[in-house]
Amino acid sequence: MELTTKAYKQTAKKAIADPILQSALAGLQSRLGPATASLYENLPEGPDLRAKAHAYRRKAVDNLDIMLVTLAGKIRENGGEVHFAATAKDAVDICLDIAEKNNVKHVVKGKSMVTEEIGLNRALMDKGIEVNETDLGEYIIQLAGEKPSHIVAPAVHKTRKEVGELFTEKLGTPYTDDPPTLTRDARQALRKKFMAADMGISGCNLACAETGHITTVSNEGNIRMATTLPRVHVAFMGMERIAANLEEHQAILRLMSMGAAAQQIGGYVSYIGGPAAVDHADGPQAFHLVIVDNGRSRILADEEFREMLCCIRCGACLNVCPVYGKIGGHSYGSAYTGPVGAVVTPLLGGINEASHLCQGESLCGACRVACPLNLNLPRMLLALRAKLSEGDPRWNVKPKSRPEKMLFQVWSRINQNRKVYDILLKLGRLIQKIMPSSNHMIRRLPWPFSGWTQSRDMKPLAGKTFMELWKEHQGGRS
């Protein structure tokens, strides 16, 4: 997918013009946003839990090296293998290597965003390996050859009818748009894939250093099957997804379920610590955990953005974001969409390259209120914009939009001097007289303000400023 301002605007425009998508997005937001908010209000531990969970996450991120070493040690003790991948390519290569050594031909996957981030599916398929997504939403978009458009509801942009037609075409089932029947059709097709697979791939919602396990959450049980049926299980985790101990792990996991789907806890929660062994028969023959950096160390090293590593990708911010609610997930052009994507995608993929994401938000602050961990996304959006204004060699950011900067430099000068400011206002009052207007409102503004009058009229400058009126008011009184 393209990461440019032009592509962003074009995809957004298309999304805005699509009535089916608009009603799907509105439905999603009106269902999940308020439901999540009401769960937060009724937390049995009281609202403090969110601040506490933020502190737990922060502690884990601040001590990431120790946490990861502890986790890796425990998993190795239990017979699992742990790999550290510095880049997306390293992560992919590790997986390809495991696949080759184990003579893997068929892969089933549980939903995982980090594998989307590193482009794993493509790489496996290029090696002739069949890859099947098993989360219903992911399966649908895989059949359609599309990308996820929501973090927890990847196929929210598709209607029942579209899914029905897709299944008829790709699975050869009789057409229906009845969701239970569609689910059954998908389940039957997927059962065969599960039975045939020799490798299962999953993400990791949260790991726990103390116990040395990773946790996956789903509502369909598909991840449980993908991680236990095949011979080999490879789990991918972003290196920040870890909690220090079980107590903290449990609090964060509950908040994640609330943020993601307004649930107290996800339907299927699996704790996975290693392969099957003599004393516990369940599980695959081999278990590998791939811990992915791919730009996260750089975020970790910058105090301004370290908070972003506390994110647990629950998607609660998407369900309240008014921009996401209009443009949908595909406009973000990355694995991470909505407000979280607007911050994380530039940090991982380049701030200049994804400048439109941090700038194309209204800074309304709804995401901050909705985030189960109270992450301050607007603050980080502002910090990214500041880098774009002035450039930052540490992040390889080149200053963007010189003309805009110059405009603000001029503005700043004028703003410093009320006399000059007043003279320009007088000039403005003269100029506005020649602008097209009707009913005391200006109909068209010149560049660079023309975007404003695309859909709105503009209130003209008043005959006198309040400061002038104030001076008269004071004069009259004394």
Query: Which segment (42-50, 66-74, 176-184, 404-412) binds other proteins by CB under 8 A?
Result: 404-412
Q: Which is nearer to other proteins, 412 or 478 (CB)?
A: 412
- Smallest separation (angstroms) from other proteins to the CB of 333: 15
Q: Hey, which bits of 336-445 come out as E strands?
A: 437-438, 441-442
3-state secondary structure of 199: strand
Query: Which segment (84-92, 148-156, 177-185, 358-366) binds other proteins by CB under 8 A?
Result: 358-366
- Smallest separation (angstroms) from ligand SF4 to the CB of 371: 3
Binding mask 228-267 for ligand SF4 (x = CB under 6 A): -------------------------------x--------
Q: Decide: is 347 part of the binding site for other proteins (CB under 8 A).
A: no
Q: Decide: is 342 part of the binding site for ligand SF4 (CB under 6 A).
A: no
Residue 318 CB coordination number (10 Å): 34
- C-alpha 244/C-alpha 255 separation (Å) is 16
Q: Which residues pair with 288 in a beta bridge?
A: 81, 234
Q: Decide: is 113 part of the binding site for ligand SF4 (CB under 6 A).
A: no
Q: Name, in order, each residue with C-beta under 8 angstroms of 105's C-beta and a sequence gap of 6 or more.
A: 128, 129, 130, 198
Q: Decide: is 458 part of the binding site for other proteins (CB under 8 A).
A: yes
Q: HSE (CB half, 13 Å, CA atoms) of 144? A: 21
- Smallest separation (angstroms) from ligand SF4 to the CB of 336: 8
Sheet of 286-292: strand order equals 81-85, 286-292, 232-238, 199-202, 106-109, 130-133
- C-alpha 110/C-alpha 272 separation (Å) is 14
What tokens does 28 get? 């999603």
Query: Which segment (25-33, 114-122, 138-146, 368-376) binds ligand SF4 by CB under 6 A?
Result: 368-376
- C-alpha 396/C-alpha 383 separation (Å) is 15
Provide φ and ψ at 291, rounded to 5°: -100, 115
Q: Which is nearer to other proteins, 7 or 16 (CB)?
A: 16
Quick one: what does residue 441 bind among other proteins, ligand SF4, none, with the CB cut-off 5 to 8 Å set by partner type? other proteins
Q: Decide: is 316 part of the binding site for ligand SF4 (CB under 6 A).
A: yes
Closest listed residue to residue 392, CA positions, set 347, 342, 449, 432: 347
Distances (CA, A) of 15 to 33, 148, 293, 334, 359: 21, 14, 33, 16, 18
DSSP string, 230-283: SSEEEEEEETT-EESSHHHHHHHHHHHHHHHHS-SS-SEEEEE-SS-BTTB--S
Q: Decide: is 456 part of the binding site for other proteins (CB under 8 A).
A: yes
Candidate list 86, 421, 435, 444; residue touching other proteins; CB under 8 A: 421
Q: Which is nearer to ligand SF4, 226 or 312 (CB)?
A: 312
The DSSP secondary-structure symbol of 94 reads H
Closest listed residue to residue 298, CA positions, set 339, 355, 237, 347: 347
- Smallest separation (angstroms) from ligand SF4 to the CB of 311: 3
Q: Which is nearer to ligand SF4, 235 or 371 (CB)?
A: 371
- Smallest separation (angstroms) from other proteins to the CB of 44: 24
Q: Are the C-beta atoms of 235 and 272 separated by less than 8 Å?
A: yes
Q: Which is nearer to other proteins, 264 or 439 (CB)?
A: 439
Q: Decide: is 311 part of the binding site for ligand SF4 (CB under 6 A).
A: yes
Candidate list 200, 273, 274, 315; residue touching ligand SF4; CB under 6 A: 315
Candidate list 291, 323, 373, 380; residue touching other proteins; CB under 8 A: 323
Candidate list 32, 317, 348, 357; residue touching ligand SF4; CB under 6 A: 317
Candidate list 91, 114, 163, 314; residue touching ligand SF4; CB under 6 A: 314
Any idea what the Cα angle at residue 214 is, between residues 43 and 336, rounded to 5°? Answer: 75
Q: Decide: is 51 part of the binding site for other proteins (CB under 8 A).
A: no
Q: Which contiguous run of DSSP H or E holds residue 399? A: none
Query: Which segment (10-18, 94-102, 181-189, 294-302) binds other proteins by CB under 8 A?
Result: 10-18
Q: Decide: is 373 part of the binding site for ligand SF4 (CB under 6 A).
A: yes
Residue 389 CB coordination number (10 Å): 15
User: Using CB under 8 A as the criterion, which residues of the chain lie in contact with other proteins when the complex forms?
Assistant: 9, 12-13, 16, 322-323, 326-327, 359-366, 368-369, 379, 382, 384-390, 404-405, 408-409, 411-412, 414-416, 418, 421, 425, 439, 441, 448-462, 464-467, 469-471, 473
User: Using CB under 6 A as the criterion, which residues of the chain lie in contact with ligand SF4 when the complex forms?
Assistant: 259, 311-317, 340, 370-371, 373, 375, 377
